[in-house]
Amino acid sequence: MTVSRDNSLAIYRGIKAAGVKSISALPETWLVYLLQLAEDDPDVHLIEVAKEEEAIGIAAGAYLAGQPHLLLMQNHGFLAAINGIVSLAMSYRIPLCMLIALRGHWGEPYPWHTQGGIHTEPVLRALGIPFEYARDPAKVGLQIKQALTFAQSSLSPVALLLDRELMED
């Protein structure tokens, strides 16, 4: 498996076109090119966290400061961040625009990813977090823009699940 450089660039272009000014992230294989692009971008402030729940606090601070913010994480990181999402973002009506690498789903060869992959969608549904799958590089830019717009208007967390079809060549 190789991570798609071209599709990562399509995603990053979408992030920029949506007007994102700061990104919080925890490095993961599918996100490697996205993080490199963010690191090299002087107009985007990137904060890499030690654990994904921190990113919920950072996103809240950026939102309160009026800065459009995007969270990049693996689905296992999303699962690790749930208390922050519920107790901070949902309780205070703070929008979160989460781009989540959906590991452990259709086509997954690695056993250690599979349980997280199987349970990501049911957990999103249980939490009432609106989500969509991103599979098509031609559509992902619009999906990111719509995710950010919807998060900000609904004052809610929203998730765009980055699927294998998009992330791997």
The least CB distance from residue 17 to other proteins, in Å, is 20
Q: Work out whether 19 is an interface residue with other proteins (CB under 8 A).
A: no
Which residues, 86 to 105, sit near other proteins by CB under 8 A? Answer: 87-88, 91-94
Contact 134, 5 (CB under 8 A): no
Supply 115's token pair.
Answer: 């349980």
When the beta carbons of 65 and 118 are compared against other proteins, the nearer one is 65
Q: Work out whether 60 is an interface residue with other proteins (CB under 8 A).
A: yes
When the beta carbons of 10 and 59 are compared against other proteins, the nearer one is 59
Stretch in the footprint of other proteins (CB under 8 A) among 5-13, 34-42, 83-91, 119-127? 83-91
Q: Work out whether 65 is an interface residue with other proteins (CB under 8 A).
A: yes
Contact 28, 73 (CB under 8 A): yes
Identified binder of other proteins from the candidate list 29, 83, 115, 154, rule CB under 8 A: 83
Stretch in the footprint of other proteins (CB under 8 A) among 11-19, 33-41, 60-68, 139-147? 60-68
Chain length of the chain: 169
Q: Mark 28-57 with x for binding to other proteins (rule: CB under 8 A) and - for no binding.
A: -----------------x-xxxxx-xxxxx
- DSSP assignment of the chain: --B-HHHHHHHHHHHHHTT--EEEE---GGGHHHHHHHHT-TTSEEEE-SSHHHHHHHHHHHHHTT--EEEEEEHHHHHHTHHHIIIIIIHHT--EEEEEE--SSTT---HHHHHHHHHHHHHHHHHT--EEEE--TTTHHHHHHHHHHHHHHHTSEEEEEE-HHHHB-
The site that binds other proteins (CB under 8 A) totals a number of residues, namely 33
Binding site residues, other proteins, CB under 8 A: 22, 24, 45, 47-51, 53-67, 69, 83-84, 87-88, 91-94, 155
